[in-house]
Amino acid sequence: MQDQHRFNLKAWLLWTAGFVAFFIGGALATALTGRVNDVSSALVGGLVVGAVIGTGQWLVARRLLGDPKAWIPATAVAMGIGLVVGAWVVGYGTSLSELALMGFITGIPLGAAQAYLLRDRVANAWVWGAAMPLLWALGWTVSTFIGVDVDQQFAVFGASGAITFMALSGVLLDRLRAATSPPTPPLPLARTKVDGPVATQNR
């Protein structure tokens, strides 16, 4: 039997490979809305990117994330709300500090929504919710440092930020999974074996 607490390298690699969803979602959002420079473009861009990311995450961790009809729409709506608020707060700016703040704000509703869905599936799901703003801000920071042309006002950070985000969040997800207590197995057969002789002796 596999040790529940051992780091699941295969699952982590698969989760990290889901960074491709960020690239696909970002490309679709750019094709549909162009620059994220007003409320409508931020909302549509966030919804599109969130839907694609949510789909990608579910595809690589479906057993852990549960019902796709909950995970994908929740991720999309939360991403849309977060990007609208975050982009508006920073005035649609693209400096490092502005993008980091936008990412942090985007991660707040996103983390809250996903943590709520994970509450019965992993231990301490609130940690996931608390980490998302930080990891989302980090994603924008890495992409900006690496030289991505963030002045194009993309809806989501580039591949370097996405790999960083998925790699670190994958480690966190695995540790939350490992800390989850397995359900107590039922014991009807054991009771039957014990009760049998007792019942016989009482006859």
DSSP state, residue 90: T
DSSP state, residue 150: G
Instruction: Quote the domain boundaries for residue 39.
Output: 9-201
Distance CA 28, CA 35 (A): 12
pLDDT confidence of residue 156: 96
2 within a domain of the structure (yes/no): no
136 within a domain of the structure (yes/no): yes
pLDDT tens per residue, the chain (203 residues)? 456 678 889 999 999 999 999 999 999 999 999 999 999 999 999 999 999 999 999 999 999 999 999 999 999 999 999 999 999 999 999 999 999 999 999 999 999 999 999 999 999 999 999 999 999 999 999 999 998 899 999 999 999 999 999 999 999 999 999 988 764 333 344 444 444 444 444 44
193 within a domain of the structure (yes/no): yes
pLDDT confidence of residue 5: 76
* Contact call for residues 136 and 142 (beta carbons, < 8 A): no
Distance CA 35, CA 153 (A): 5
C-beta neighbour count of 40 within 10 angstroms: 11
pLDDT confidence of residue 182: 67
pLDDT confidence of residue 3: 65
4 within a domain of the structure (yes/no): no
Number of domains in the chain: 1
At 195, which amino acid appears?
A: D
pLDDT confidence of residue 6: 84
